[in-house]
Structure 1
Amino acid sequence: MAMVTSSKQTPLYDLHRQLAAKMTTFAGYQMPVQYKNGIIHEHLHCRSQAGFFDISHMGQCRVIGEGAAEALEKLTPGGIVDLKLGAQKYTVLTHAEGGVIDDIIVTRIASGLAIIVNAGCKDKDFAYLRSRLPADCGFEELSELALLALQGPSAASVMTKFSAEAAGLTFMQACAAEIAGVACTISRSGYTGEDGFEISLPQAAAERIAGLLLAEAGVEPIGLGARDTLRLEAGLCLYGHELNETITPIEARLQWLFKKGHSDFPGAEKILAQWQNGPERVRVGLLVEGRIPVRDGCRIYHQDQAVGTVTSGSFSPSLNRPVAMALLDGRFAANGTVLTALVRNSPILVTVTSLPFVPHRYLRT
């Protein structure tokens, strides 16, 4: 008899059902794809006002001890030791062949480091960190915590009503704060390209705090569908698409992650050689002619020669046209290069363009 595996639920599962969400299984969790107004409405609402996201499926953990930053420095392209208290960094865990185990967000806290990992990677990430951290570092899974996001140009004015400390942060800063008496860790960060916040808090309080945020004028719930189109427009990598264990950070054009002179991390020899000599393939943006999206897995051609593969593709509500990202042969990666995608054996013209498709609006100062 085949084993039946049931998907997990976030603390907001009942709330999603009350809000008439269309649910799907994602990374082992029952998650909302969209709500009653649909993906395009949700996407444009987040770009114009404020969107509320349940991201409690993500993994949260802590590395504890005075040597926490030094230990993680040796597993990433670096810069962890330079983080000040409350500062965050986006980085990647690399393996010996130069590929990416996961992309993560690291926050410097008083006891060490707080880390957020991707939902589909958390079991392997946690096992990897436990195996690679030195004995003087403690490791804690924070499975009792939920994670919420508030994103969009109105997010800051909403947050001001609940936490002056959080509203005073700038991009990639975090602080301990309270929302309606609930102790939270709030960061000014997100996955949409918009200004916004992520809120880590006890699962038991998640539904109450979600209700308070959703009761604010201009705040609407946003599902996974619009979360993906928002991050695609922002030119942000999605693990399993633009990043995986066979794609290096240089191929993904994440050179900006690297600390100058840092070479003591897994895969450094291959990765730094690619940085110096140029990789054979690179991540690019593609503007797609016509109205038909090119989806992930679609092959890209120069004349009859296959020169790359689409990693993410969708219709862009902000630009009112299809866009995509692809891993492309570096010889054809210059902006303005016109190539062909094959969709159901029909050729569609695509033009290489710079990323992001929609400018970021992070509050940096």
Structure 2
Amino acid sequence: MSPDLLHTPLYALHQELGARLVPFAGYAMPVQYPAGLMAEHQHTRSAASLFDVSHMGQLRLVGEGADRALETLIPMDVLGLGVDKQRYGLLLNDAGGIRDDLMFVRRADDLFIIVNGACKVADIAHIQAGIGDQCTVEPLPDRGLLALQGPQAVTALARVLPGVEKLVFMSGLACTWQGADLYVTRSGYTGEDGFEISVPAAQTEALARALLAQPEVKPAGLGARNSLRLEAGLCLYGNDLDESTTPIEAALNWSIQKVRRSGGERAGGFPGADVVLGQLDGRRPLTRKRVGLIAQERIPVREHTALQAPDGTPLGEVCSGLLSPDLDRPIAMAYLPPEHAAIGSTVHALVRGKAVPMQVVAMPFVPQRYVR
């Protein structure tokens, strides 16, 4: 482990719990604990797991024009978002490529944004440069972020923070715990019901210990987080999304609300709008599309595995792939030409020289269980 790696507020607790730490987004992060990835994955599906996601970037936009300003950077409806409501967002470049994906919430006196850890420095600089003259852009480096995920997360968290059981998916609540100001959203990255909790760095370990003391809760690392999010059909920035990929290629059309689309009263006005809206309404044909794949043989298919048509024509490569713990079959996501992207189509993954048949399937691979 490089001494240059950053530590989250839970670094000492991870060591105490026997985590295997790996470099991730510039931090020393737990990839798994002694129980192992498979046990952590299944515990999240059946009970509740606590993930340290404090490497993520947190910031707030303050000022009367903050919502209108944010709309100039993302193709989402910010003005129409209610107080304590959360939405998925995309920062785009001038070609319509995805700089990062994020979550944002309208709180009583600000817009609270969470961006990916590996992109946070660039994201904050981009947001500051783009709208810093229209509102105050305030990074929040002194806060931790915990994700409590699983069907029993609400039972465990409600003992510690009464009232969270009233939240529904993509809504939030400001509360206090032992004098610390928290913000809780009913959201997550596993496909399960769950919560993300923003907490002052100084209180993060104490809150984590209080949650781990609940009988339903065990710690989980990056390995289980990755297998859970892939089964849920969720994108990982850097694997499935990047600056050369548009929201429409990534099959994220649903994230662009009607008011920001062609013909809407606030249509366009964001970077890459001509490209994105052109792909959305068919004026610009798509050359590729993100799809889900299931292997027809029990041979794991990892990211960067080459894909080809049955006749040997190169089609691209896998962007995320693993052996699904729930399905016990290899699953993957990839970008394919539209003529090969229809549900039921067959492509071949080249694994150590062997052509492994894979079928295009609808996502998510495992049903999502959000509380709406």
**TM-score band (shorter)?**
over 0.9
Equivalent residue for 2:72? 74
Is contact 1:166-1:177 (8 Å) kept? no
Does residue 46 (structure 1) correspond to residue 44 (structure 2)? The answer is yes
Equivalent residue for 2:93? 95
- Which one of 270, 294, 299 corresponds to residue 292 of structure 1? 299
Equivalent residue for 2:198? 200
2:163 partner SS:
helix
Q: Per-residue CA shift, 1:144-170, capped at 9, x if unaligned? A: 000001000000111111222222110
- Which one of 154, 163, 176 corresponds to residue 178 of structure 1? 176
Query: How many Å apart are 1:134 and its aligned residue?
Result: 4.8
Is contact 2:291-2:360 (8 Å) kept? yes
Q: Per-residue CA shift, 1:308-328, capped at 9, x if unaligned? A: 321100111011111000011
1:331 partner SS:
helix
Equivalent residue for 1:348? 356
Does residue 275 (structure 1) correspond to residue 283 (structure 2)? The answer is no
Equivalent residue for 1:112? 110
Query: How many Å apart are 1:272 and its aligned residue?
Result: 1.1
Q: Per-residue CA shift, 1:52-75, capped at 9, x if unaligned? A: 000000000011101111001111
Question: Quick one: which amino acid aligns to residue 281 of structure 2?
Answer: Q
Is contact 1:162-1:180 (8 Å) kept? no
Are residues 97 and 5 of structure 1, via their aligned partners in 2, closer, same or farther at CA, if it must alter by over 3 Å? farther
- Percent of pairs with identical residues: 47
Equivalent residue for 1:326? 334
Equivalent residue for 1:266? 271
- In 1, Cα distance between equivalents of 2:45 and 2:180: 28
Q: Per-residue CA shift, 1:75-129, capped at 9, x if unaligned? A: 1112111111101000101111110010000110122201000000001000000
- In 1, Cα distance between equivalents of 2:342 and 2:301: 20
Question: Quick one: which amino acid aligns to residue 290 of structure 2?
Answer: R
Question: Quick one: which amino acid aligns to residue 257 of structure 2?
Answer: K
- In 1, Cα distance between equivalents of 2:181 and 2:74: 30
Does residue 18 (structure 1) correspond to residue 25 (structure 2)? The answer is no
Does residue 243 (structure 1) correspond to residue 248 (structure 2)? The answer is no
- In 2, Cα distance between equivalents of 1:110 and 1:131: 25
Question: Quick one: which amino acid aligns to residue 268 of structure 2?
Answer: S
Is contact 2:56-2:117 (8 Å) kept? yes
2:278 partner SS:
helix
| TM-score after normalising by structure 1 | 0.97
Query: How many Å apart are 1:250 and its aligned residue?
Result: 0.3
Which ranges in structure 1 are unaligned for 5 or more consecutive residues?
Answer: none
For structure 1, which segment, 268-277 or 142-151, has the greater mean C-alpha deviation from structure 2 after superposition?
Answer: 268-277
- Which one of 226, 229, 232 corresponds to residue 231 of structure 1? 229
- In 1, Cα distance between equivalents of 2:154 and 2:95: 42
Equivalent residue for 1:304? 312
1:178 partner SS:
strand
Query: How many Å apart are 1:206 and its aligned residue?
Result: 0.7
Q: RMSD of aligned C-alpha atoms?
A: 1.1
Report how many residues are paired: 361
- In 1, Cα distance between equivalents of 2:164 and 2:176: 9
Does residue 363 (structure 1) correspond to residue 371 (structure 2)? The answer is yes
Q: Per-residue CA shift, 1:25-68, capped at 9, x if unaligned? A: 00000000000011011001100100100000000001110111
Structure 1 runs of 4+ aligned residues shifted over 6 Å read: none
Is contact 2:50-2:147 (8 Å) kept? yes
Is contact 1:195-1:363 (8 Å) kept? yes
- In 2, Cα distance between equivalents of 1:335 and 1:181: 52
Is contact 2:60-2:138 (8 Å) kept? yes
Is contact 2:160-2:210 (8 Å) kept? no
Query: How many Å apart are 1:289 and its aligned residue?
Result: 2.1
Is contact 1:35-1:222 (8 Å) kept? yes
- In 2, Cα distance between equivalents of 1:151 and 1:223: 12
Q: Per-residue CA shift, 1:253-302, capped at 9, x if unaligned? A: 00011122221110010111111224110000000122221111111111
Equivalent residue for 1:187? 185
- Which one of 219, 222, 225 corresponds to residue 221 of structure 1? 219
Query: How many Å apart are 1:181 and its aligned residue?
Result: 4.0
Which ranges in structure 2 are unaligned for 5 or more consecutive residues?
Answer: 259-263
Question: Quick one: which amino acid aligns to residue 229 of structure 1?
Answer: S
Query: How many Å apart are 1:182 and its aligned residue?
Result: 2.7
Is contact 1:156-1:167 (8 Å) kept? yes
